[in-house]
Structure 1
């Protein structure tokens, strides 16, 4: 049986993003736990602010590339920064574009039957926890099945070793548990 394919990205384009660091680590852990992870950096796929007038002129090239990547995966793991208690505009805009109908594909078809897990990192004490329920709600609205108990990483600016691993073993174990749950549920549902 082929290992389940999980698309991993952060809702941040910033160089040095703590959420990119957490997403890269999650991708590494998914691989170690028997899944196939594809990490992408949304900075490499800039999309205009969603606008139906732009859409009417043709789907932007980077949206088409992202659609192709998403179609090839059974699940998503997203690291979501928190901006004023909400998910980032980058994450919302990316998901808005991907949820649009295109050709013979209905709007939510790319997401239907897929699973998702969320993690969040923040230099503050809350670890992005206010944005996680909103991210879960958005993903569920897009027809994804979202795993409960997302990972929140407070004080993330001092949470990683120089090698990119989590310093706190208990937090590392929680990340492994979430990644393992995602790999396991895909093994059962995509035989």
Structure 2
């Protein structure tokens, strides 16, 4: 792969099959591709990890954590769609990031994240669109050493926001998603 390739790892902080955030993440991946980036969508349901525990880690890092580490290492940015649970990011998202931020062999903790770009989106069937969890997600990603883009997208009333082809009914919201995806692709282009 040449250095001009702008690879973005896209996933949702939900394992649920019919997750609105998974739907939003898949749409974001398509938009990143359309805007000149290279997106890889993964479903965290395919990589179940135990709740982080140093005793488990001492017995050997779980195989799915190692797979996720390998995938993350191959990308220069992440786009995460985070549901909101009681005003916070999901335990699944936090646990996944906790495992990935651990030192492993000769790789220091946080090395996998250092200097990568990040963008956040959130979808909710309610009127707030997951907006309370977004600043917390941004703070966590910044703590991990990622360069987090401002102005995340929140999608309210997401249960009726998508058409049959998976695009957004509302043109303005679609333009906001495109603008965020474009900023992510442009940020990568400027640094690679």
Same structural fold, with TM-score higher than 0.5 when normalized by the shorter chain: yes
Superposed structure 1 runs of 4+ greater than 4 Å apart: none
Correspondent of 1:119 among 121, 125, 140: 121
> Once the 2 structures are TM-superposed, how far is the Cα of residue 3 of structure 1 from its aligned partner?
2.6
Structure 2 counterparts to residues 1-191 of structure 1, below 5 A: 2-190=4-192
> Once the 2 structures are TM-superposed, how far is the Cα of residue 97 of structure 1 from its aligned partner?
0.1
Equivalent residue pairs, number: 190
Alpha-carbon distance between aligned partners in 2 of 1:121 and 1:82, rounded to the nearest angstrom = 8
Contact 1:3 1:34 survives alignment (8 Å): no
Alpha-carbon distance between aligned partners in 1 of 2:127 and 2:105, rounded to the nearest angstrom = 45
Question: Deviation string for 1:107-138 (max 9, x for gaps)?
Answer: 00000010000000000000000000000000
Alpha-carbon distance between aligned partners in 2 of 1:76 and 1:163, rounded to the nearest angstrom = 24
Question: Deviation string for 1:91-118 (max 9, x for gaps)?
Answer: 0000000000000000000000100000
C-alpha RMSD of matched pairs (Å): 0.6
Alpha-carbon distance between aligned partners in 2 of 1:47 and 1:41, rounded to the nearest angstrom = 13
Alpha-carbon distance between aligned partners in 2 of 1:81 and 1:45, rounded to the nearest angstrom = 18
Question: Deviation string for 1:127-177 (max 9, x for gaps)?
Answer: 000000000000000000000000000000000001100000000000000
> Once the 2 structures are TM-superposed, how far is the Cα of residue 2 of structure 1 from its aligned partner?
2.9
Secondary structure of residue in 1 paired with 2:103:
coil
Contact 2:131 2:154 survives alignment (8 Å): yes
Alpha-carbon distance between aligned partners in 1 of 2:170 and 2:21, rounded to the nearest angstrom = 17
Task: Flag structure 2 segments of 5+ consecutive residues without an equivalent.
Answer: none
Contact 1:74 1:186 survives alignment (8 Å): yes
Alpha-carbon distance between aligned partners in 2 of 1:141 and 1:10, rounded to the nearest angstrom = 19
Secondary structure of residue in 2 paired with 1:20:
helix
Task: Flag structure 1 segments of 5+ consecutive residues without an equivalent.
Answer: none
Contact 2:83 2:90 survives alignment (8 Å): yes
